[in-house]
């Protein structure tokens, strides 16, 4: 049912709505303890346990974090978690690294194009791995980064193509 005639008198602009967002001051946020995928933390002097940090823009703005309470209530938004104190940042990053397990490709050692799949041997920041992808497996992000999805839906990222060696770039030319 649409809004009644009384409450829709004035147009709500996006600016007014933005005011309702709970943007957090990094100086008033502290992460005390990090578990596998949750943290215990203090926000504006109040302690919260088993908080779930989430990135709304995991590839384009990984610094942007939204914190959710155990019951999925939104606790607030941190526009740049890197502004947290050193220890809080370190603890939070540990959790984020498991929630966003996105190996960074450093080198492409081998690329076989057999059948309708590609088989890659890649060196990542998390070690050397052999992955299989479909022929259409890449996605360019607006910030110039390249994502590669394997057949199982795992994601790998190339942060800066120009920093790859010529052989890896030549391999990427085949698929991207």
Which member of 30, 55, 94, 169 binds another protein (CB under 8 A)?
55
Does 17 contact another protein by CB under 8 A?
A: yes
Which member of 28, 37, 47, 56 binds another protein (CB under 8 A)?
56
Q: Which residue has the tokens 């008033």?
A: 28
Does 142 contact another protein by CB under 8 A?
A: yes
Which member of 66, 69, 129, 176 binds another protein (CB under 8 A)?
66
Sketch the per residue contact string, 80 through 109, with another protein: x for CB under 8 A, - otherwise: ------------------------------
Which member of 10, 73, 116, 162 binds another protein (CB under 8 A)?
10
- Please report which helix (H) or strand (E) contains residue 52, including its range: strand 46-54
Which member of 35, 42, 59, 106 binds another protein (CB under 8 A)?
59
Q: Which residues contact 169 (CB under 8 A, 6 or more apart)?
A: 161
68: alpha, beta or left? (left if phi > 0; alpha if psi -120 to 50): beta
Q: CB-wise, 5 or 27, nearer to another protein?
A: 5
Q: Are strands 65-68 and 74-78 parallel, antiparallel or unpaired?
A: antiparallel
Which member of 8, 110, 126, 167 binds another protein (CB under 8 A)?
8
- Residue 21 CA: distances (Å) to CA of 24, 25, 35, 78, 81: 9, 13, 27, 11, 17
What SS3 state is found at 42?
strand
Using an 8 Å Cβ cutoff, are 83 and 30 in contact? no
Q: CB-wise, 71 or 166, nearer to another protein?
A: 71
Q: CB-wise, 43 or 65, nearer to another protein?
A: 65
Q: CB-wise, 3 or 116, nearer to another protein?
A: 3
Does 116 contact another protein by CB under 8 A?
A: no
Q: Please name which of 161, 173, 175 lies closest in space to residue 107, comparing C-alpha atoms.
A: 161
């Amino acid at each position: 049912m649409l809004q009644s005639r009384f409450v829709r008198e004035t147009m709500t602009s996006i600016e007014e709505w933005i005011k309702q967002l709970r943007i957090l001051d990094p100086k008033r946020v502290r992460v005390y303890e990090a578990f596998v995928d949750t943290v215990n933390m203090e926000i504006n002097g109040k302690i919260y346990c088993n908080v779930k940090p989430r990135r709304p823009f995991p590839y384009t703005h990984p610094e942007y974090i939204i914190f959710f309470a155990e019951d999925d209530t939104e606790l607030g938004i941190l526009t740049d978690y890197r502004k947290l104190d050193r220890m809080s940042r370190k603890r939070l990053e540990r959790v984020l690294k498991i929630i966003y397990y996105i190996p960074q490709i450093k080198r492409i050692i081998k690329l076989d194009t057999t059948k309708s799949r590609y088989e890659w041997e890649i060196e990542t920041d998390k070690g050397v791995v052999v992955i299989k992808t479909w022929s259409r497996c890449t996605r360019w992000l607006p910030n110039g980064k390249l994502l590669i999805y394997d057949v199982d839906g795992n994601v790998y990222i190339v942060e800066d193509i120009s920093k790859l060696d010529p052989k890896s770039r030549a391999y990427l030319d085949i698929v991207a």
